[in-house]
Amino acid sequence: MSTNAAPTSPPAFPPALAADQIHALRDMAVDWSLAHGLVIRALGSGPDGKSALSHSAVHAPIALFPSPFPKAGFEQARRLQPVFNTLVHEITKDSGFLSEVMDGIGDVDPFTSRLYSIYRRQLAAGLPAQSISLGVHRSDYLLHKASPTTPPTIQQVELNTIASSFGCLSSLTTGLHQYLSSKTDFYNKRDNPSTFDIVPEALPANGAREAIAGGIAEAHREYVKQQAADAEAVVVMVVQPGERNAMDQRWIEYELIERYGIKLFRRTLAEMHQSGSVSSERKLVIQTFNGPRPVSVVYFRAGYGPSDYPTDAEWSARSLIESSIAVKCPTVAQQLAGAKKVQQVLALPGQLERFLPAHDAALLRTCFTGLYSLDAGTAEGDQAFAMALKDPLKYVVKPQREGGGNNVYQADIPQFLQSLAPNERAAYILMELIEPPPMRNVLVRQGEVIQDAEVVSELGIYGIWVANGDHVVKNEAGGHLLRTKVASSHEGGVAAGFAVLDSPLLY
């Protein structure tokens, strides 16, 4: 193999350590995490002791070692991100496309249907309500190895356009691994020739926190410029009641006030319903310590699933916010553009070209895997349905949901698909299963070591987009997330309890 060729498999990693060394490393990792705010709320309140305590935290689930990840794939994912950001923007402008895709789902998915009806109402009113757009997206990838002799390439799992979490804790995880590598000689070529030298380039800096806060600050500035009278405007973060992952969110708030002097207030949808209002000039107003304040940006870390809307009050709040001139991150249109059904339609020939120049469309397509409609009564849908029944081990079935734990995998697929009425199949898509090459790592959850586990990692790249109409103010890849899970588990969410926070060690 020439020295310039991409390596086909990672070096041996992590180093073999004795149990006492692992425990010493674990203690260092846990203390660093507690001291630096790499934490989530502890459980212990509520009748079953399973709700988040408001006064107590525990280290976030972490990988003790960074995980080898091919440099070429990492760089490719970063290159794709500005194109994905543009794609989302272009889709949100195309009501014909969104209607085409959503009309089919409307009858069989009440949640998506309700979001879509807010979108249609807004459209009928002749809006969008605000020309400034802010996107904080995250595109997620798994590695795919076509054969033992080819280097692994990235394949997209999904594109998130709402409430992409863990940017701040992920930035800290990179710091944790940098600390552990500089503090120990465990993975040092001098002592351990088969491993990596951890050089700064191998553990790439992770600016997700700065990028997300920077995007919000930029959108806030655009709003203040546009609404010259709103110099006292504040940012609202819409949150879930009892959120465990609150410190990941708080870090954005602190970054905004410390770096930009911008105040951010946390509000649930229920609170927005109770005390938020829209003025005659359609300004969104909330009550603060200093009385009423106009809202420049609403950043959603809730609102992505049915359980965020237990009553009509939450839906009213969402509609109220959507109808205001506050910058929404995301708008309902941006949220719909991140639907799995949209991802599937975009994979059809010619669809990306509706929104992007041919070379950009071709670039994005390099990371697509097989995506199929399951719509009954269409040739493609019936064919995919038959394919899934015949070869279920090759596939995953996905509903229009976010947040992990919603998919149906492999052997469970036939029974699941056969339990659906034909018209209900439109609410789901079929996707080829990506099977990344397994690696080994040591995972730590609540202080407990899961030793030498066989794991796979999912890379997320944050995408930051700020524009006023079609004038692009910011379009960039902003930091990353690596989540690592035990290979035998299908799902990959950290908050959903399947994965731990990790960082890529580039080779």
Q: Which does 406 bind (CB under 5 to 8 A by kind): ligand ADP, Mg ion, none?
A: ligand ADP
- Least distance from ligand ADP to the Cβ atom of residue 342, Å: 13
DSSP secondary structure string for all residues of 81-140? HHHHHHHHHHHHT-HHHHHHHHHHHHTT-HHHHHHHHHHHHHHHTT--S-SEEEEEEEEE
Q: Is 303 left (phi over 0), alpha (psi -120 to 50) or beta?
A: left
Q: Which residue among 33, 67, 85, 160 is the active-site one?
A: 160
The residues that touch Mg ion, with contacts defined as CB under 5 A, are 160, 402
- In terms of CB distance, is 221 or 490 closer to ligand ADP? 490
CA separation for the pair 221, 219 (Å, rounded): 5
The listed partner (ligand ADP, Mg ion, none) that binds 314, CB under 5 to 8 Å by sort, is none
Choose the catalytic residue: 402, 460, 463, 478: 402
354 annotated ligand binder: no
**Active site (annotated) includes residue 454:** no
Q: Has 340 been annotated as catalytic?
A: yes
CB of 462 to ligand ADP, least distance (A): 15
Instruction: Report the residue from 242, 403, 414, 437 that binds ligand ADP according to the rule CB under 6 A.
Output: 403
> Within the chain, what is the greatest distance between any pair of CA atoms?
70
Q: Do the beta carbons of residue 400 and residue 111 sit within 8 Å?
A: yes
Binding residue (CB under 6 A) for ligand ADP from 262, 396, 408, 443: 396
Using DSSP, state whether 283 is helix, strand or coil: coil
**Is residue 138 annotated as a catalytic residue, yes or no?**
yes
Taking the C-alpha atoms of residue 449 and residue 445, their distance in angstroms, rounded to an integer, is: 7
The continuous run of DSSP H or E covering 159 comes out as strand 153-160
398 is in an annotated binding site: yes
135 known member of a binding site: no
Identify whether 474 is a catalytic site residue: no
Site string for ligand ADP, 114-143 (x = CB under 6 A): --------------------------x-x-
**Cis bond before residue 306 (omega within 30° of 0):** no
First-to-last alpha carbon distance for the chain, in angstroms, is: 15
**Interface of this chain with ligand ADP, residues 458 to 477, rule: CB under 6 A:** 458
> Which one of residues 492, 495, 501, 506 is an interface residue with ligand ADP (CB under 6 A)?
492
How many Cβ atoms sit within 10 Å of the Cβ of residue 161?
A: 32
Give the contacts of 169 (CB within 8 A, at least 6 positions apart).
Answer: 38, 40, 60, 245, 247, 248, 251, 501
Nearest residue to ligand ADP, scored by beta-carbon proximity:
492
Active site residue 263: no
Q: Which stretch binds ligand ADP (CB under 6 A): 11-19, 266-274, 322-330, 489-497?
A: 489-497
Binding site per annotation, positions = 138, 158, 160, 162-165, 243-245, 249, 301-304, 340, 398-407, 409, 431-434, 458, 483, 485, 491, 494-495
Which positions are annotated as active-site residues?
A: 138, 158, 160, 165, 340, 398, 402-403, 483
